Amino acid sequence: FVYCANGDKVSFLELVNCLPNGKIQTVNSMKYHSRTLKSTYGIEFKYHYLRHTYGTHLATLNTPTHILCNQMGHGKIETTKKYYIIVSQNGIDVLVRNLNQM
């Protein structure tokens, strides 16, 4: 289990980079997959790009910050805010809709 800044306890099974047995993939296993993609398809790929894209998409969909923090496995919610909480058009639309309902 890991704990988010808000105290929520999260199972490794809920994280993006876990194996079917619940264990977290190691850095070396991720490097292996990256090298395989590079050699097989001739593309430059780093696992961290995929992780960042995943987090950015969740943030763009207005996923609550504490849930995004849990999904990304961050120990501090400030880390999640720093990298994934962006002002998106979707977020602005939600804000405008909420303000109009007041």
- pLDDT per residue as tens digits for the range 73-101: 888 999 998 888 776 677 778 888 989 99
Nearest to 47 by CA among 26, 73, 71: 26
Number of domains the chain is built from = 1
User: HEC string of 37-97?
Assistant: HHHHHCCCCCHHHHHHHHHHHHHHCCCCHHHHHHHHCCCCHHHHHHHHCCCCHHHHHHHHH
Q: Is the pLDDT of residue 41 over 80?
A: yes
Print the domain residue range for 22.
2-100
| pLDDT at res. 16 | 60
